[in-house]
Amino acid sequence: TGYAPVAVSALVITAPVPTRAEVSDVANAVLDGTDAVMTSAETAAGRYPLETIIEMANICSEAEKAEDVKLDADFTGMAFSRIDQSIAMGALFTAHHLGCKAIVALTDSGSTALWMSRHRIHIPIYALTPKLSTQRKMALYRNVRPLLMDQSVERDTALADAEAHLKRRGIVASGDIYAITCGEPMGAPGGTNMLKICRAA
């Protein structure tokens, strides 16, 4: 089964505070699993564009906190036909039960991050890619933080570079446990075939 990002639009044009119905629409979109909420007239012609964005962000943040993560149910009776999908699901399951600080995907096409984003988990997913077009595409994936990073074709070097990149950004610190996925050979789209659990040095 294929997946595509889903965006939902909301309208708050003439008032500085959203109505109860508007709050419910945005919150329910998040709880229903939408990847993004967007504005159009609110920021193009509305009287309160900044307030609209702030309110929508606050509503989304609160709705995400209220989500009940039952990841185990996502695996019950499931059969995965693709290796990259199986690795992505394995990373989510393992990170959830280990309490990992982060899930990291080294990805060329963004497909591994897309598989991961389909499931509700309160662990941030960092997708590292050397391609600007892939980074931009992944910006709409739920719970995925896409980062640009040059990647070595040598797996161990790429993994070490990824950890250094995450540490420089303050995402992981020494002693933190994180899950990381990649493909070997590196750089083959849809070629994710490895999951590693790491403790940051």
More confident of the two residues 40 and 87: 87
* C-alpha distance from residue 89 to each of 48, 113, 137, 149, 196 (Å): 41, 10, 21, 23, 13
CA-nearest of 138, 77, 174, 89 to 163 is 174
* Number of CB atoms found within 10 A of residue 35's CB: 21
Q: Looking at residue 51, what is its pLDDT?
A: 85
Measured between alpha carbons, how far is 182 from 187 in angstroms, rounded to an integer? 9
Ranking 61-75, 88-102, 154-168 by mean pLDDT, the lowest is: 61-75
pLDDT digits (tens, 9 = 90+) for 148-188: 999 888 889 999 999 999 999 999 999 999 999 999 877 77
- Say yes or no to pLDDT of 22 above 60: yes
Q: Looking at residue 28, what is its pLDDT?
A: 86
Q: Looking at residue 1, what is its pLDDT?
A: 45
Contact 84/115 with Cβ under 8 angstroms?
yes
Measured between alpha carbons, how far is 52 from 25 in angstroms, rounded to an integer? 14
Map out the domains of the chain with their CATH numbers: 7-66 (no CATH), 71-199 (3.40.1380.20)
Q: Looking at residue 2, what is its pLDDT?
A: 56
Cis peptide before 185 (omega within 30 of 0): yes
More confident of the two residues 165 and 66: 165
Q: Looking at residue 75, what is its pLDDT?
A: 60
- Say yes or no to pLDDT of 103 above 50: yes
CA-nearest of 31, 100, 95 to 66 is 31
pLDDT digits (tens, 9 = 90+) for 108-150: 999 999 999 988 788 999 999 999 999 999 999 989 999 999 9
